[in-house]
Amino acid sequence: QVKLQQSGAELVKPGASVKLSCKTSGYTFSTSYMSWFKQIPGQSIEWIGMIYAGDGGTGYNQKFKGKATLTVDTSSSTAYMDLSSLTTEDSAVYFCARHPFAYWGQGTLVTVSS
Amino acid sequence: DIQMTQSPPSLSASLGDKVTITCQASQNINKYIAWYQQKPGKAPRLLIRYTSTLESGTPSRFSGSGSGRDYSFSISNVESEDIASYYCLQYVNLYTFGAGTKLELK
């Protein structure tokens, strides 16, 4: 069965970067698309961007350009998202989801605090 | 960018009630709307795609309809397991979620 297993919660300092992972199984990762989403607790969900595992091609929500960088490792069927120059406004739960968004990871809580 | 205006922000229902949530897109989205259920601490669960197509495992008490800019999502005979937040998502042009509707028991 399809599974997306995300990395654990992160506590990071302002100005730092963090790399989140989404390890997949149960389907052909190398021909799939993956998107990442941000959800501040109690608020709605924002689409950050997407990546095609076949060639690493990406597309981003304009709001997150320069903030998020998406990559994949097809050898381990894992998708990654780097978040840079973190501020308190980046504190949120981040989800990965395989297109067309029927399968989601469990989410990773990122807390930015000094 | 396409905006999705979802209402109401919250709903209070009794078990067995029918409830309806609406989403209005800022432009025609050609039925490319999905509906999600999210429970606290969990990932969103896809219930309906392309306006009215139920995903496998979605109970038949859930339904969706609409066209153009205006869409609705209904739950007939609300059950206790339906207490959650619900979101619409347009996917005709990138991806935009509505603000969400929190369904509570009266």
Q: Tens digits of per-residue pLDDT, B40-89?
A: 999 999 999 999 999 999 999 999 999 999 999 999 999 999 999 999 99
Q: Is any Cβ of chain B less than 8 angstroms from the Cβ of A35?
A: yes
CA distances from A61 to A12, A46, A64 (A): 23, 9, 6
Minimum Cα–Cα distance from A5: chain B residue: B43
What is the average pLDDT value for chain B, to the nearest integer?
A: 98
State the pLDDT at residue A49: 98
10 Å CB burial of residue A46 (0-12, 13-18, 19+) is: middle
pLDDT of residue B2: 97
Is there a contact between B100 and A44 if contact means CB atoms under 8 Å apart? yes
* Sequence letter at residue B34: A
Encoded amino acid at B58, one letter = T
Query: Would you tell me how many other CB atoms lie within 10 Å of the CB of residue B42?
Result: 12
For residue B103, give how far its alpha carbon lies from the nearest alpha carbon of chain A (Å). 13
For strands A18-25 and B4-7, give the pairing: unpaired
Q: What is the pLDDT of residues A29-86, one digit of tens each?
A: 999 999 999 999 999 999 999 999 999 999 999 999 999 999 999 999 999 999 999 9
List the beta bridge partners of residue B31: none
- The minimum CA-CA distance between B96 and chain A, rounded to whole Å, is 7
CB contact B21 to A (< 8 Å): no
Residue whose structure tokens are 């005979």: B77
Catalogue the E-assigned strands of chain A: 3-6, 10-12, 18-25, 33-39, 45-52, 58-60, 68-73, 78-83, 92-98, 103-104, 108-112
Let me know: does B82 contact B18? Beta carbons within 8 Å.
no
Task: Say yes or no: A21 contacts chain B, CB-CB below 8 A.
Answer: no
The whole-number pLDDT of residue A1 equals 95
